[in-house]
A and B are shown apart, each in its own frame.
Chain A
Amino acid sequence: MLEIIENFLGIPAPLLFGQLLLGLINGAFYAMLSLGLAVIFGLLNIINFTHGAQFMMGAFVAWMLLAWGGLGYWWALLIAPLIVGATGVVIERLMISRLYKLDHLYGLLLTFGIGLIIEGLFRNHFGSSGLPYRIPAELSGAWDLGFMFMPVYRGWVVVFALACCLATWLVIEKTRLGAYLRAATENAALVQAFGVNVPRMITLTYGAGVALAALAGVLAAPIYSVNPQMGTNLIIVVFAVVVIGGMGSILGSVITGFGLGIVEGLTKVFWPEASATVIFVIMAIVLLARPAGLFGRA
């Protein structure tokens, strides 16, 4: 079997398996980020372009907790999403909530602007080359899988991201709170008439979506350089993921996130130069064939 693969594709099988695994790991980040975006879009009808900056803030808050507060990775995993989520709540209350009656485009422009401002502030204060953040001792080291050397931390990222995606899906599909959320998406006025505080629910949903971005940021801090532009690099891809999966579809964004991670990983072997473009090619094709996305409802 292995030989067939090698002969057919012209690349060593270990390399191929390694790339599949790495693609899955990157897919975990795409999935977590697009999940937050999908949740926010589903309820608020806002395309949250601040998401990349909020991902970056998660990583920076993790660094600050360690450098200034002496609190390590595990605390950061808990506290950073809360802090960044709280800033999200403030942003929603003060600014975004004023735009719900307007076209999508206004929300997009506002959040895009906020993202640029946040990034600029961090760049001014911390510079562009980034800050060091180490892998926690419990998760350092690696497993030798034979075909590749698999860092324990990357395995943790995949497992943790999958757990987060599953938990979010369960909350939205299987709990009473999730039922309210879905109902408010369909008809907010009616849900409010039943005595549910819809504006507060919307605010908290935005906060939760932002907290998911920050959580992904904490996960990314030990792997990538913690720098102000780390979100910008990722967010464009994540938007493509959301569009391909279908705006607002939670399951769609998770599956597409992992799937596109793998596609991108394979492109890095066969045609490295195109690896930054391949996702957008797929996006264009999907938009032409199924404008609502793979899992979206037209």
Chain B
Amino acid sequence: MTEINRRTVLAAGAGLGGLPFTRARAQAANTIKIALLCDFSGTYRDVTGPNELACVRQAAAEFANRGFNIEVTFADNQNRADVGSNIARTWFDRDGVDCLVDGGASSVALAVNDVVREKNKVYVNSSSATSDLTGRACSPNLVHWTYDTYMLAKSTGGATVRAGGDSWYFITADYAFGHALERDTANFVRQAGGRVLGQVRTPFPGTSDFSSFLLQAQTSRAKVIGLANAGSDTINCIKQAAEFGLTRRGIKLASLLMFMPDVHSLGLEATQGLICTETFYWDLNDRTRAFTNRVRANLQPNVPLCMNHAGGYASVLHYLKAVADMGVAQAKANGAEVVARMKAMPCDDDCFGPGSIRQDGRKLHPAYLFEVKSPAESRGQYDYYKLLQTTAGNDAFRPMAEGNCSLVRS
């Protein structure tokens, strides 16, 4: 009989403890961790939030059984840059997250972008608007997927000027996103020979009465009021512009960023005839309808899909393709390398169709200009848009040379 002394007990304990530990570590090494950061509690919840989480999970589910595990986690950014970057740091430093999805409001995205670059992870952004993400703030670790302010300005702004709206007044949300959208749209208006008569910057978040600002816009005698805001700000503006008779007096509203859930919230009665630009619509073609059917069961009951949700799905899917292509170990070690691989591979998914990612991180795909249907035209649930115009990916976004992105060799 062998003598049991203290040393053997300790050794046995260490051996037993070590077994599950090494197994867990082996599992972690073969697991890709994806984390979604966006608004789950505020004004942008419906246009990102739970529906986007369902779409990201859909992408992960479609990539199951490819030899590595995928974990999806999420957090609420409260629309605050400091909150967002703190969460991102915790994710990278403590939780071993490999890929951060979205970011939400532009102010948060710009802050998170710096953190991801510092930690050399991957950042796929699906709902932030500011075109600075592929301009002066561009990063080798970032892909900006769904849309940006330049594209909105060119599509919606350009169409409005062509329809005769040559004098503009902006109602602008007073933070990074609003400023970028106003700047990009004003450039297009001036290029097309139009004039910008003024702008008013409204506090964000926390403004719910826009009648003062609408009245200022009306006093400027501009033909078009450009709404450089989003979410419930846009909803309140449209609602109150009708209330104060602006639209009846022939003033046009240019809702520069409007999503399906916004239209759903306002109702067709209030929104019919408005134009807006999205890069995804559930009823666009067979592939988008097939995708919608796949995720439908997991969506919020009263919130239709919009391009941000689709962007969450498609960007994660493309990221996972790159990971599978280069191997998990290498993908976890070097985020910039994964993004380089994503840029080298052609993109194709059910939401946006074939496309590509440019050197500055800009994903290219077509932009669609829609008009909101009248209640009589709409047949069935969420049948809200009719397609007016399609702009090819190459034309829809800002030319790479104009963005001043440091990654682009001139």
Contact = CB atoms under 8 A, between A and B. Distances in A.
A105 B130 CA distance: 42
Nearest to A220: B208
B265 A132 contact: yes
Given A128-B232, A149-B245, A223 B213 contact: no
A19 B174 CA distance: 20
A129 B174 contact: no
Nearest to A153: B243
Interface stretch (A36-44, A185-193, A226-234, A245-253): A226-234
Q: Counting chain A CB atoms within 10 Å of each CB, which of B207, B231, B239 scores highest?
A: B239
A142 B244 contact: yes
Contacts of B240: 223
A199 B364 CA distance: 67
Given A123-B41, A151-B244, A130 B265 contact: yes
Given A127-B261, A128-B46, A14 B213 contact: no
Contacts of B44: 128
Interface in B62-119: none
Interface of A: 12, 14-15, 18-19, 22-23, 25-26, 120, 123, 126-132, 134-135, 142, 148-149, 151, 153-154, 223-225, 227, 229-230, 233-234, 236, 265, 268-269, 272-277
Given A19-B215, A269-B216, A224 B41 contact: no
A127 B306 CA distance: 14
Given A19-B212, A132-B266, A233-B206, A12 B219 contact: yes
Contacts of A12: 219
A18 B215 contact: yes
Given A123-B45, A223-B240, A224-B209, A129 B202 contact: no
A273 B241 CA distance: 20
Contacts of B265: 129-132, 225, 227
B46 A224 contact: no
Contacts of A233: 205-208
Interface residues of B, number: 48
Contacts of B215: 15, 18-19, 22, 148
B235 A225 contact: yes
B302 interface: yes
Interface of B: 39, 41-47, 49, 174, 200-203, 205-209, 211-213, 215-216, 218-219, 231-232, 235-236, 239-240, 243-246, 249, 261-262, 264-267, 269-270, 300, 302-303
Contacts of B174: 272-273
A132 B270 contact: yes
A15 B218 CA distance: 9
A132 B267 contact: yes
A102 B114 CA distance: 47
A68 to B, nearest CB: 14
Given A22-B211, A223-B243, A224-B208, A130 B232 contact: yes
Contacts of B212: 18-19, 22-23, 265, 268-269, 275
24 contacts: A15-B216, A123-B45, A128-B43, A129-B47, A129-B231, A129-B235, A129-B261, A129-B303, A130-B232, A132-B269, A149-B249, A151-B243, A153-B243, A224-B208, A224-B236, A225-B265, A229-B41, A230-B208, A236-B206, A268-B213, A272-B201, A272-B202, A273-B203, A275-B203
Q: Which 4 residue pairs spanning A and B have beta carbons closest together? A: A276-B203, A128-B45, A132-B267, A268-B212
A272 B239 contact: no
Contacts of A234: 208
Nearest to A19: B212
A296 B213 CA distance: 34
B244 A127 contact: no
Contacts of B249: 149
Contacts of B45: 123, 127-129
Nearest to A236: B206
B205 A126 contact: no
Nearest to A149: B245
B209 A26 contact: yes
Nearest to A268: B212
Contact of A223 (B42, B216, B239, B267): B239
